[in-house]
């Protein structure tokens, strides 16, 4: 999804959800899905977090591949 805080505010903050997030429905633009490597996203979602829900140790995505599919 691409984050925004209201009409005409889309930015370049992207995120992947690993659990249902119905509270985000209608609030963000969804434009992709994980085709391979779901286990990586699942592992990241299970790392220890602080009281604000942020990972205690920094997580860095070193490579990613984006593919256009369909029409």
Tokens for 4, please give them: 């925004």
Report angle CA 39, 52, 37 to the nearest 5 degrees.
10
Q: What is the per-residue pLDDT for 45?
A: 93
Which candidate, 31, 62, 59, 27, places its Cα nearest to that of 45? 59
Question: How many whole angstroms separate alpha carbon 32 and alpha carbon 2?
Answer: 10
- Domain ranges (residues) in the chain: 1-71
The superfamily CATH assigns to domain 1-71 is: Cyclophilin-like (2.40.100.10)
pTM: 0.65
pLDDT tens, N- to C-terminus, the chain (71 residues): 667 777 887 776 778 888 888 888 887 777 788 888 999 999 999 999 999 999 999 999 898 888 887 76
Q: What is the dihedral of CA 19, 21, 26, 28, to 10 degrees?
A: -60
């Amino acid at each position: 999804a691409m984050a925004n805080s209201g009409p005409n505010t889309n930015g370049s903050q992207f995120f992947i959800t690993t659990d249902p997030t119905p509270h985000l429905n209608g609030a963000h633009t969804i434009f992709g899905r994980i085709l391979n490597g779901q286990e990586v996203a699942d592992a990241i979602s299970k790392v220890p977090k602080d009281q604000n829900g942020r990972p205690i140790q920094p997580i860095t995505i070193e490579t990613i591949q984006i593919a256009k599919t369909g029409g």
